[in-house]
Each structure stands twice: as C-alpha cells, then as structure tokens.
C-alpha cells in the first residue's frame, strides 16, 4: 500500500471575503517530490503554510503524515522540515549557531545537534562558512543554510517554498543537486516554484495552480504529452498575416498565439518538420515541448497584476 | 475570552528555548551590555543624589539620596525591560522574522511571547543587580529587607516587559514606539513617585499614578529598601502581579493574531 504523507480534501483558505485557496483536493505519496506551480498569488504559499501549520485552514480537511493539521500541529512540526520563502535566518548568529539555536527549538541535545549541523553544512557545501555571520553569505548560501536548517530535526518530509527564487544559475544548480540527493535518499518533498524547468527536472508529480484552483495535475512528461505533444513549432507573424496563418494551420494542429508569436503543438504521431515546411516564414523554429508550454496554455499568458 | 486574559500563561520547555536564544546572544556581547547597564543609573545617582540632594536635604525623614536610590532601581527595571521588549522584539517580530522561523518548530506562539517577555525581564533585572551592586559598594544597603526588593523588582521587570510586548504586538513601525515613550513611559517615570513623594501631587495625579505599574514598584521597593515593610504593601504587590499577568496574556493573544492568519 502506498503511504500518503499529505492529503487535502476540499481545502479552502479565505482572507476576509477573498478566497485564495479554493476547494482543492490532493494526495501526496511518501518518497515523492510534489510541485505546486503557478504565478504569484495563485495560492501556492497559502497552501504550503496550511500544511506546515502556520496558517489555519478555513474549511475542508488537511492531513499531514496522517495527522490533522488543525489539532495536531505540534506533532506534525516535530516531524517535518520547512524552508520558507523568506529564509528567516537569524542575523544575530553565525551559520553554525543558526543551526544550533534552531535545533534547540526542536529539543535536540546539544552534542547531537552539533554533529548533525556540521554534517548538514558539509552536505550543503557551506561548511567552510560555519563561523561566518549570515550577512556574509551569498543568496545561494543563505538558501542552502535555510535548507540545512529545515533538515536539522531529520524530518520525514520537506516543505520548500520557492527554493531557488532569486538565485543565480550556478546557485540554482547547486540547490538542485542538494534536492536531488535528498530525493534519492527517499525524502518526501513538497515544493512551490514558478520555474517550469525546476519543476520538470525535480518533481515526480505536480499541479498547476491559479486563482486558488488546480488547472491540471500529473507527471511533468504526461502533462506535456497530453496538453502539448512532443514538439512545438514557433514563428512570428504580423497582424495582417495572422488570419492567413490561422487558416493554414487550424485544421491540422492545436496552436496558441502569444502576442504575434504562433505556437503549433505537434502531437505524438505528427511530424514537426512537416509543419515547418508548410509555413512560408523565415524565422520558423522547432523545439521540444516543455512544461512552460503547458503552463502558458492552461494558465493563459496575459500579464496579470 | 476574558479567562484567557486572567489565567497564568503556560510556560514550557519552548519558553525556555526562546529565552535561551536571547541569552545566548546576550552572552556574546556581554561586556558591551555591562557598560550601558551601569552607566545610566550611576549618572542619575550622581546628578540627582549628590547634586539635587544637597539642596533638598531630607524627604519624609530620610536623606534624599536614600529616598531616590530605590526609585532608581525601579526606573532601571522599567527602562531595561521597555527597551528590550520594544525595539529588540519588534526587530525580531517584523524585520528579522525570528518569531515566524521559531514557529516552524514545535515551539508555540505562547512560548515565543512568554519567552521574549521573560527575557526582557531578565535583561532588565540584570541591570537592577548592577545598581544593587553599586549601592552595596556605596554602603547604602543595611539589613535583610533591602534584599527583598530584588524579587519585587523582578516582577516590575516582568510587568514592564509584558506591557512593552503589548505595544510591540500592535506597532506598525519603529516610530510607533515614540508615542509609547512620550505618552506612557516618560510621564510614568516622572509621576510614579520616583523623584518626589506622591503625597504632594493633586488628587487626579495621584489617581493616575495608581494605575501605573511603576508606582506600585516604587512604593514597595522604597519601603523595603528603607526597611519599612508594612502589610498594606501586599495590595501594591497584588496589583503589580495582576497587571503583569494581564499584559502577558494580552501580548500573547495579539501576537498570535499578528503571526497566525
């Protein structure tokens, strides 16, 4: 039997008369990396905060590790690790002290805490910064320290709220290495992100969320196959040619026009090169379909503010 | 709801952890803290005790210096607690998000706020001990009763720390504290019978003084310091204790509203 580490049923979060999480259902399995994707304000962080018991559930049910978040928060918090969106590192202390102080909140005996802290700093590759103050760390190091902190109580599952937002590409790669290593050890992980590449690389399963609702749910590759296909043919058209192109492609291909850029979705069994050949345009390109295409298709591409 | 306000806050291992976090930080900068702790009360004693005391002579049958000395302990208690539980706590609540981080662990909001209040009280009490030390050196401490001021002053530290935490839990920014200082703390330090006896104040000022925690702290501390204990002081102690409990619960409830939503 597959063990469920987190389950939401008709989970809802309201602030006043604004509904930010709108009756979602989900089940997350042990050992799985599950992603919540969506634009800012989609309700990802609110969902996470309810799961790590920092924000009360407005209605519906939510269980983490089989425990009701509303009544068993303290027990849940003992067994989970959290990496919040804002690192929340204690600038009054050094890197090592940050871990020791946090370990003390978990009632971890001092010696064990120190051993674990040094182990984690090595794993995160910030051990040479043990005595540095938090302000002396780069953004990537701070993020990895926050991850180390979330691991100090040897949790059964990790909550990662936008683990790589604001990091440069190198720092992001390092973070991904760490996350993949944890995953290979069987750590259950729940993360939010708005980087599609991140979700595609790390998540076993994900949902795309907007306005507090799930737009679609599944394995990244399945979602790509189902909503897009295997390839995307792109080309640009000006306004006067738009209708001409639409007429040309609409019978054979699913497509989406984002501003003046056509995206033809090449289903499995269709040939992208053939599509390219039928487009009388000089800037036609063909590429692999990605999760980003799914996202733009299901979440829409209008800029919302 | 009102029961929430009058019961004694739950203290647990988490409270101690939060307290220890602050103590751990304090230890790192211990030497710097010592200087500031001693310098201000010493300044008051020299300026008012020797300076003003020369002209005043005696108040209520005691040398002005002896009248003033216990009040300086009480204001030291107040100042220390107020500073720690306004600016420092606000920084942890809003700027560094320390409380939010702590709450990702099994430590509860109640633990966080109670631990912070106790720390503010402890740090202020550390200052009180410093002043007491100076008085001992100056030969101003005679008999047992003056030593009993210490537990009383700890309650005063607690009360002022809790009151400040209430303000912190409502504060929008650092400027909010300016109101607290000029509308509450400064009047209190002048009108609580610190520098002059309350008996010569107009009736309304005496009534106003009665609702101030510092007044009760000063009254009890002074009578003990001068070895004049009498049973009417139990009422002052009870009021001081009651205010401490009330402010603590208020701070806990309001901070919870601020952090969990």
The β-bridge relationship of strands A157-161 and A188-193 is: parallel
How far is it, in rounded angstroms, from Cα B228 to Cα B67? Answer: 12
Which range marks the domain in which residue A20 is found?
Answer: 4-224
Let me know if residue B166 belongs to a domain: yes
Instruction: State yes or no: pLDDT of A297 exceeds 60.
Output: yes
The closest CB to that of B96, out of A84, A90, A101, belongs to: A90
Q: How confident is the model at residue A305 (pLDDT cuts 50, 70, 90)?
A: very low
Burial class (CB in 10 A: 0-12, 13-18, 19+), A266: buried
How far is it, in rounded angstroms, from Cα B159 to Cα B130? Answer: 20
Q: Are residue A50 and residue A120 in the same domain, yes or no?
A: yes
Q: Are residue A13 and residue A87 in the same domain, yes or no?
A: yes
Q: Are residue A107 and residue A248 in the same domain, yes or no?
A: no
Q: Are residue A123 and residue A147 in the same domain, yes or no?
A: yes
Q: A105 to chain B: which residues are within 8 Å by CB?
A: 14, 17-18, 102, 105-107
Q: B106 to chain A: which residues are within 8 Å by CB?
A: 74-75, 77-78, 105-107
CATH number at residue A253: 3.30.70
Domains identified in chain B, total number? 1
The closest CB to that of B102, out of A91, A92, A105, belongs to: A105
ipTM, two decimals, is 0.90
Q: Are residue A183 and residue A235 in the same domain, yes or no?
A: no
Let me know if residue B51 belongs to a domain: yes
Domains identified in chain A, total number? 2
Instruction: State yes or no: pLDDT of A139 exceeds 90.
Output: yes
Q: Are residue A237 and residue A217 in the same domain, yes or no?
A: no
pLDDT (0 to 100) of residue B1: 63
* Test the B interface: residue of A88, A91, A150 with most B CBs within 10 Å: A88
Which range marks the domain in which residue B107 is found?
Answer: 11-255
Kindly report, residue by residue over A197-256, the tens digit of the pLDDT.
Answer: 899 999 999 999 999 999 999 999 999 999 999 999 999 888 888 888 888 888 888 888
Structure tokens, A212: 């507090």
Q: Are residue A250 and residue A162 in the same domain, yes or no?
A: no
- The alpha carbon of residue A204 is apart from the nearest alpha carbon of chain B, in Å, by 26
Let me know if residue A304 belongs to a domain: no
CATH number at residue A11: 3.40.50.300
Let me know if residue A295 belongs to a domain: no
pLDDT (0 to 100) of residue A301: 64
Q: Are residue A57 and residue A171 in the same domain, yes or no?
A: yes
Q: Are residue A236 and residue A183 in the same domain, yes or no?
A: no
Let me know if residue A297 belongs to a domain: no
Cα dihedral angle (A30, A33, A37, A41), rounded to 10 degrees?
60
Q: Are residue A164 and residue A198 in the same domain, yes or no?
A: yes
Burial class (CB in 10 A: 0-12, 13-18, 19+), B172: exposed
Instruction: State yes or no: pLDDT of A304 exceeds 60.
Output: no
The pLDDT of B143-163, averaged and rounded, is: 97
Strands across the sheet with A188-193, in order? A80-83, A157-161, A188-193, A33-37, A205-210, A213-218
């Amino acid at each position: 039997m597959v063990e469920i580490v987190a389950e939401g049923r008709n989970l809802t979060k309201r602030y006043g008369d604004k509904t930010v999480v709108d009756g979602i259902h989900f089940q997350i399995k042990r050992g799985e990396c599950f992603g919540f994707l969506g634009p800012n304000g989609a309700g990802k962080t609110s969902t996470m905060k309810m799961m790590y018991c920092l924000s009360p559930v407005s209605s519906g049910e939510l269980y983490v590790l089989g425990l009701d978040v509303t009544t068993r928060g303290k027990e849940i918090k003992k067994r989970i690790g959290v990496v919040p969106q804002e690192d929340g590192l204690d600038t009054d202390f050094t890197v090592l002290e940050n871990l020791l102080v946090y370990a003390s909140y978990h009632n971890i005996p001092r010696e064990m805490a120190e051993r674990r802290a040094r182990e984690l700093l090595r794993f995160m590759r910030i051990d040479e910064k043990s005595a540095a103050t938090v302000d002396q760390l780069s953004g990537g190091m701070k993020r990895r320290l926050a991850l180390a902190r979330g691991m100090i109580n040897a949790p059964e599952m990790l909550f990662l709220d936008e683990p790589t937002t604001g990091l440069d590409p190198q720092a992001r790669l390092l973070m991904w290495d760490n996350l993949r290593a944890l995953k290979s050890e069987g750590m259950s992980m729940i993360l939010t992100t708005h980087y599609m590449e991140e979700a595609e690389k790390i998540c076993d399963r994900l949902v795309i969320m907007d306005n507090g609702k799930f737009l679609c749910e599944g394995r990244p590759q399945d979602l790509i196959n189902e909503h897009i296909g295997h390839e995307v043919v792109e080309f640009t058209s000006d306004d006067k040619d738009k209708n001409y192109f639409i007429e040309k492609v609409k019978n054979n291909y699913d497509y989406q026009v984002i501003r003046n850029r056509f995206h033809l979705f090449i289903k499995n069994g269709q040939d992208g090169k053939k599509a390219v050949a039928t487009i009388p345009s000089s800037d036609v390109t063909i590429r692999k379909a990605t999760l980003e295409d799914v996202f733009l298709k299901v979440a829409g591409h209008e800029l919302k503010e | 709801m009102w029961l929430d306000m009058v019961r004694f806050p739950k203290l647990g291992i988490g409270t101690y952890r939060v307290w220890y976090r602050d103590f751990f930080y304090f230890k790192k900068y211990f030497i710097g803290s010592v200087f500031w702790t001693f310098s201000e009360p010493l300044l008051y004693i020299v300026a008012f005790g020797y300076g003003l005391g020369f002209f005043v002579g005696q108040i209520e049958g005691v040398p002005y210096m002896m009248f003033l000395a216990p009040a300086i302990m009480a204001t030291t208690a107040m100042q220390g607690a107020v500073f720690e539980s306004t600016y420092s706590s606000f920084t942890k609540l809003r700027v560094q998000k320390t409380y939010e981080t702590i709450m990702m662990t099994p430590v509860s909001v109640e633990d966080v706020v109670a631990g912070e209040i106790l720390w503010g009280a402890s740090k202020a009490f550390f200052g009180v001990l410093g002043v007491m030390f100076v008085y001992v050196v100056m030969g101003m401490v005679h008999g047992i009763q003056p030593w009993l001021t210490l537990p009383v002053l700890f309650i005063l530290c607690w009360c002022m720390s809790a009151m400040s935490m209430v303000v912190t839990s409502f504060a929008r920014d650092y400027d909010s504290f300016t109101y607290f200082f000029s509308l509450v703390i400064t009047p209190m330090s002048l009108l609580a019978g610190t520098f002059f006896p309350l008996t010569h104040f107009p009736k309304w000022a005496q009534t106003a003084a009665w609702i101030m925690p510092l007044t009760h702290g000063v009254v009890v501390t002074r009578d003990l310091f001068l070895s004049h204990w009498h049973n009417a002081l139990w009422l002052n102690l009870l009021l001081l204790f009651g205010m401490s409990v009330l402010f603590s619960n208020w701070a806990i409830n309001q901070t919870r509203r601020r952090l969990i939503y």
